[in-house]
Structure 1
Amino acid sequence: MRTRIKFCGFTDAGDLRDAAALGIDAAGFVFYAKSPRHLDTDAAAALRRVLPSWVSAVGLFVNAEPAEVRRIASHVGLDVIQFHGDESPERCLASVPDGLAWWRAVRMRSAGVLLESFDRFGQAEALLLDSFSHGYGGSGTGFDWSWIPAVRPLPVVLSGGLTPDNVADAIAAVRPSAVDVSSGIQSDDPRRKALARMERFVAEVLRADAKLCQTSTR
């Protein structure tokens, strides 16, 4: 099975069209006011209309009120909710409109944190694994991939410091269901994406998958 690709932090329609043309599987919109890539709901809804039907729209939230998450999800047309704060399982479930998938971000301080999260968030579609930081949202730094067990009760979306230079190694080491990147493909402006970096990131994911496929058929 190929590794799915999520690019996060879109604010520009041209960047989003370029990414969709490269074959990404999911595009992330940030609804956290302290992020430089924060969007209001109308801007996010306009970007959502740019996406083809085969690219999922993922909304990133940090400790937002459940009613606000539901309102934004409906207004924008989100396909997946990504919780990136301190939300409990109960708060996550209360925030998600019926039938919508949700992911819970795990800030990786140790292997034990992940094992505990597998137990606590068993109703999530997936866990998104990011490096630990004292703030919220993506950190842009990596963590020890050896903390991730080979056998997992939930799919994992690998995040945290991924770039075109290391994503192939990350896939070989972890074999995640998906990879997630934001700062690793941004331009000098943190609100914009660099097309060359997006192209190379996708190419490296495809190369890693092809290498794994060759290994499994030997």
Structure 2
Amino acid sequence: MRIRVKICCISSHEEAEMAIAAGADALGFVAAMPSGPGPVEDGLIRAMAARVPPPLATFLLTSRMTGPEIADHLDVCGVSTVQVVDHVDPAEWAPIAARHPAVRRVQVIHVEGPEALDLIPRYAAHVHAFLLDSGKPGGTMRELGGTGRTHDWQVSRAFVAASPLPVFLAGGLTPANVGEAIATVRPFGVDLCSGVRTDGQLDAAKLSAFMAAVRAAEGAG
């Protein structure tokens, strides 16, 4: 079982190069968000994505809520994958697919409880993958990722078992806990931001330790 690794919150060409050298399968670029670390302006996202060699994936994390707005965002950023970080109306995926048919589509599911599984049939026909995270999209203080918190991995395990699509696991992953997370949830891939950073900067030692832990978990699986 090979686990894909997505390193998120990439904020510079140097961080992108570090993640690629460490063996990442995908890089995540965070656009403007109501909460969480790591947002960068769209022009820099486009410049960074343009320098990422194939076959690595480049993810735009967008908090825009309508299909036309998200498609406009993709026009600007030039990435291979869009990750919608809020629970949008499923109908909003149609204009994105129509305007950007080659762009892979990922719906974030914020795991607040077992009801997360109810969202599988809501979105499965419209996207290529799910990403499970620890945010709280409802309420006045919306959290759409980057919380540094884990969630109930038993719910995530059940989600993976029920999903017809690949599932990435995010939320509070670190070199110390990613092995347990993989063994418990059995995701297609893992995604993290703060767990490989020191004072907000990508940390080569933590990144190396994380990748080693993922590869060890693959061997154990």
TM-score over 0.5 (shorter chain): yes
Instruction: Return the alpha-carbon distance in structure 1 between the equivalents of residues 33 and 106 of structure 2.
Output: 20
Q: Secondary structure at the match of 2:59?
A: strand
| Alpha-carbon offset, residue 50 of structure 1 | 2.6
Q: Secondary structure at the match of 1:91?
A: helix
Instruction: Return the alpha-carbon distance in structure 2 between the equivalents of residues 67 and 112 of structure 1.
Output: 28
Q: Secondary structure at the match of 2:161?
A: coil
When structure 1 is superposed on structure 2, of 201-210 and 90-99 the one drifting more is 90-99
1:210 and 2:219 correspond = yes
1:81 and 2:82 correspond = yes
Partner residue, 1:102: 105
When structure 1 is superposed on structure 2, of 143-152 and 17-26 the one drifting more is 143-152
Q: How does 1:137-148 map to 2 (within 5 A)?
A: 137-147=145-155, 148=157
Structure 2 spans left out of the alignment, 5+ residues: 137-141
Alpha carbons 2:135, 2:145 under 8 Å: kept = no
Partner residue, 1:20: 20
Partner residue, 1:215: none
| Alpha-carbon offset, residue 185 of structure 1 | 1.1
Partner residue, 2:57: 56
Structure 1 spans left out of the alignment, 5+ residues: 213-218
Instruction: Return the alpha-carbon distance in structure 2 between the equivalents of residues 29 and 132 of structure 1.
Output: 17
Instruction: Return the alpha-carbon distance in structure 1 between the equivalents of residues 28 and 214 of structure 2.
Output: 18
Give the % identical residues: 29
When structure 1 is superposed on structure 2, of 69-78 and 3-12 the one drifting more is 69-78
Partner residue, 2:124: 122
Alpha carbons 2:148, 2:173 under 8 Å: kept = yes
1:176 and 2:187 correspond = yes
Partner residue, 1:5: 5
Alpha carbons 1:108, 1:131 under 8 Å: kept = yes
- Opposite residue 165 of structure 2, the aligned amino acid is L
- Opposite residue 151 of structure 1, the aligned amino acid is A
Q: After superposition, what is the alpha-carbon deviation per residue over 1:102-160, rounded to whole angstroms, capped at 9, x for unaligned?
A: 111111111222x2111101121111111243422332100111112262322210011
| Alpha-carbon offset, residue 94 of structure 1 | 2.5
Q: Figure out how many residues of one structure are paired with residues of the other and give that number.
A: 209
| Alpha-carbon offset, residue 68 of structure 1 | 3.4
Partner residue, 1:93: 94
Q: Secondary structure at the match of 1:151?
A: helix
Residues 71 and 132 of structure 1, relative CA distance in 2, 3 Å threshold: closer
Alpha carbons 1:187, 1:193 under 8 Å: kept = yes
When structure 1 is superposed on structure 2, of 179-188 and 86-95 the one drifting more is 86-95
Structure 2 length as normaliser, TM-score? Answer: 0.88
Instruction: Return the alpha-carbon distance in structure 2 between the equivalents of residues 93 and 205 of structure 1.
Output: 35
Residues 33 and 172 of structure 1, relative CA distance in 2, 3 Å threshold: closer
